[in-house]
Every structure is written in structure tokens, then in C-alpha cells.
């Protein structure tokens, strides 16, 4: 009996629970593998305008995105619940996605699945510091949770972006952006989140990227 207790204690001491950082690392690897497979080499290199297009540029951008610290803090404050089962499902979905469905932009990376970050703050309540703290998935500029708006429906962006599914509030409606070939000023204007050639005094063009062609 004693040896069974000892083994249990040793195994318990060695167990390292799966957490948000593990999830981000796995998701980053899955995303970057999808990019390498679905993008042409020129697309892949051109996407990372601040790097040389190697895998580390991609991995770092997705494993340590700008919002990760806020999510860690939300989990610590219990305003975000991390669901391990959903996390594994998201990684699996991205690992098995077809190139025709894959989008390289980070705003789409949890639209293939149910987000493992479940917000605990109801609509209209505060104080939120990141979208993931809200049940709706949207934290307003006034640090109160917004009511989510589905793509295609009317919206207002005066207090932040209330649109679901990776959409943005443009021109009073939730939209994914313009198709490839359309004129644009920024990445968010485009459905593929890629506005190429835009500058201070010139428009760019929306580009369709990484679809396996």
C-alpha cells in the first residue's frame, strides 16, 4: 500500500497542468504549419513584413500575441475560465483545416471552433480589460461588456467592435471586409485582412492570401 501512495505522490508532483500558454504554443505551431502549407512562398514571406518570413516570426506572433498578458490576468482574476477540452478541439480543428477555409489573420484563428477562453462578465457590466473576459466576447472602450452583433447586422463602433466571427464594424454593419481586388486603406478593410501597397497618400489593394493556389 505504501508504494502505491508513494507512486501517486510522485506522479502528482510531476504533473504539469495544461494551461493557456501550452494552448497558444500548440495553436501557433498549427497555424504556422497551415500557413506554410496553404501559402505560396512569396505570400508567406510577404505576410511577415517585419521579418524574413521564417517560422520563428510566425510562431512568435501567434504564441505571444499582444493580448496574451491580459488573458493571463483575466484567468488569474477568474473573469476568464480556460476550458482545456475546447483548447484541444481548437488546435485539432486548425491542424485539419482545408486551405480553402484557412485564413492567416489572427482575428480568425478561433473562428474554427469554440474559444477555450470563456468570459464571465455579462453584457453591460464591467470592468473588462480584454474581449475574452466578456460572455459576449466583446469589451467596449468604456471597459464594459458589449452585446455581440452577428455578421451582416447593423452595428455601431463608437464604443469598440461588437461584431462576432472575426468581422469588423464598417459603414454601420458587421462585415468581414472587401474582397480581393478592392481598394483599401488598412488590413481591416479586407476580408483576408491583407491590404497590400497602402501608404500615407495612396490606397492599397485587398489581396486574397494563402488559399492553397
Q: Are residues 103 and 157 in the same domain?
A: no
d(CA 210, CA 180) in angstroms, rounded, equals: 12
Question: Could you read off the pLDDT of 35-59 as tens digits, one per residue?
Answer: 888 888 888 877 765 555 577 878 8
Strands 195-196, 204-206: pairing is antiparallel
Q: Are residues 25 and 90 in the same domain?
A: yes
Q: Are residues 42 and 79 in the same domain?
A: yes
Three-class SS of the chain: CHHHHHHHHHHHHHCCCCCHHHHHHHHHHHHHHHHHHHCCHHHHHHHCCCCCCCHHHHHHHHHCCCCHHHHHHHHHCCCEEECHHHHHHHHHHHHCCCCCCCCCCHHHCCCCCCCCEEECECCCCECCCCHHHECCCCECCCCEECCCECCCCECCCECECCECCCCEEECCEEECCECCCCEECCHHHECCCCEECCECCECEEECCCCCCC
Q: Determine the pLDDT at residue 148.
A: 94
Residues of the chain where predicted confidence (pLDDT) is lower than 50: 1, 3-7, 10
Q: Determine the pLDDT at residue 132.
A: 94
Question: Could you read off the pLDDT of 89-110 as tens digits, one per residue?
Answer: 999 999 999 998 888 887 787 7
pTM confidence score: 0.81
Q: Are residues 162 and 89 in the same domain?
A: no
Question: Is residue 77 in a domain?
Answer: yes
What range does the domain containing 166 cover?
Answer: 148-175
Domain count, the chain: 3
Q: Which of 82, 101, 120 is the last residue of a domain?
A: 120
Question: Is residue 27 in a domain?
Answer: yes
Q: Are residues 49 and 105 in the same domain?
A: yes
Q: Determine the pLDDT at residue 7.
A: 47
Q: Which of 101, 120, 139 is the last residue of a domain?
A: 120
Q: Determine the pLDDT at residue 213.
A: 62
Q: Are residues 170 and 181 in the same domain?
A: no
Q: Determine the pLDDT at residue 102.
A: 87
Q: Are residues 34 and 110 in the same domain?
A: yes
Question: Is residue 42 in a domain?
Answer: yes
Q: Are residues 72 and 30 in the same domain?
A: yes
Q: Are residues 42 and 102 in the same domain?
A: yes
Question: Is residue 131 in a domain?
Answer: no
Question: Is residue 128 in a domain?
Answer: no
Question: Is residue 110 in a domain?
Answer: yes
Q: Are residues 184 and 108 in the same domain?
A: no
Question: Is residue 141 in a domain?
Answer: no
165 touches 150 (CB < 8 A)? yes
**Interior CA angle at 113 toward 108 and 119, to 5°?**
85
Look-up of cell digits 480581393:
180
d(CA 155, CA 140) in angstroms, rounded, equals: 13
Question: Is residue 10 in a domain?
Answer: no
Three cell numbers written together for 198: 497602402
Q: Are residues 24 and 108 in the same domain?
A: yes
37 touches 99 (CB < 8 A)? yes
Q: Are residues 95 and 33 in the same domain?
A: yes
Q: Determine the pLDDT at residue 208.
A: 79
Amino acid at each position: 500500500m505504501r508504494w502505491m501512495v508513494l507512486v501517486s505522490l510522485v506522479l502528482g508532483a510531476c504533473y504539469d497542468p495544461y494551461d493557456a500558454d501550452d494552448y497558444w504554443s500548440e495553436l501557433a505551431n498549427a497555424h504556422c504549419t497551415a500557413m506554410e502549407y496553404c501559402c505560396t512562398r512569396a505570400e508567406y514571406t510577404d505576410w511577415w513584413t517585419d521579418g524574413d518570413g521564417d517560422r520563428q516570426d510566425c510562431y512568435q506572433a501567434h504564441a505571444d500575441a499582444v493580448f496574451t498578458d491580459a488573458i493571463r490576468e483575466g484567468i488569474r482574476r477568474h473573469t476568464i475560465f480556460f476550458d482545456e477540452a475546447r483548447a484541444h478541439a481548437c488546435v485539432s480543428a486548425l491542424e485539419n483545416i482545408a486551405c480553402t477555409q484557412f485564413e492567416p489573420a489572427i482575428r480568425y484563428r478561433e473562428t474554427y471552433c469554440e474559444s477555450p477562453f470563456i468570459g464571465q462578465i455579462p453584457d453591460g457590466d464591467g470592468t473588462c480589460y480584454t474581449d475574452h473576459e466578456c460572455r459576449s466576447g466583446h469589451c467596449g472602450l468604456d471597459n464594459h461588456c458589449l452585446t455581440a452583433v452577428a455578421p451582416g447586422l447593423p452595428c455601431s463602433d463608437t464604443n469598440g467592435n461588437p461584431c462576432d466571427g472575426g468581422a469588423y464594424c464598417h459603414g454601420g454593419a458587421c462585415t468581414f471586409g472587401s474582397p480581393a481586388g478592392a481598394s483599401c486603406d488598412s488590413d481591416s478593410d479586407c476580408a483576408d485582412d491583407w491590404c497590400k501597397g497602402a501608404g500615407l497618400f495612396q490606397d492599397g489593394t485587398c489581396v486574397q492570401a494563402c488559399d492553397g493556389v
